Structure 1
């Protein structure tokens, strides 16, 4: 699944040691979309290498790709939204040499003369 929006919060990193003795680290972020009624998602990036690779900063515009999973703990269920891909949304794409130049805006529309013979509309 994908979701696009702006990073509005970066939560405290979590870490620990697994039962197998391996260290782990995760970081949670909150992203908000730009719909009429904005939605927020708190998502997780798991592992030092992914946290460093994505390098998510406050206020960035991103599109995240994620998986949703649920797990049970002490007779309660919890959802996990784990991100596996992050794409930055550039508000302004820098133009590179050789890229097509957008056409100029259209010129102002000419004023029509009421006695114009081409004006055959009945109203």
Structure 2
């Protein structure tokens, strides 16, 4: 299930790493965003492997949109849910504003019509 949510970076937690039972090295990093809803919610996301590098370009308080997969799994009769991020886009604060028109300059004013040019009309 692929989802996305926007919010501000609340925390970037310390990276973790280790070796699995199969002998493979792993690394992960969690980060928390706070949504911009009427009742803000904090959501913790996890990055795995090479995706950990995505948080190096973001800072606390920055507005982002996180694309993630939501997955649950059972362990010893209990269910655990992970929000695994796979993309983080930085959101500019003026993203919703229209682009302003170009500034007016005196060179933009067309020249006054010449009286002789008015007599050259073909009709």
User: Structure 1 length as normaliser, TM-score?
Assistant: 0.70
Instruction: Name the counterpart of 1:41.
Output: 43
Distance in 2 of aligned mates of 1:62 and 1:80 = 19
State the Cα distance separating 1:53 from its structure 2 match. Answer: 3.5
Q: How many residues are aligned here? A: 97
Shift of 1:102: 2.7
1:5 is the counterpart of 2:2: no
2:17 corresponds to which residue?
A: 15
Out of 59, 65, 78, the residue aligned to residue 76 of structure 1 is: 78
CA RMSD between the two structures:
2.0
What SS is found at the alignment partner of 1:51? helix
Of residues 7-16 and 26-35 in structure 1, the stretch that sits farther from structure 2 once superposed is 7-16
Gaps of 5+ in 1: 94-99, 105-123
Using structure 2 for the length normalisation, give the TM-score.
0.70
Structure of larger gyration radius: 2
Tell me, in whole angstroms, the C-alpha distance in 2 between the residues paired with 1:22 and 1:34: 39
Cα distance, 1:16 vs structure 2: 1.2
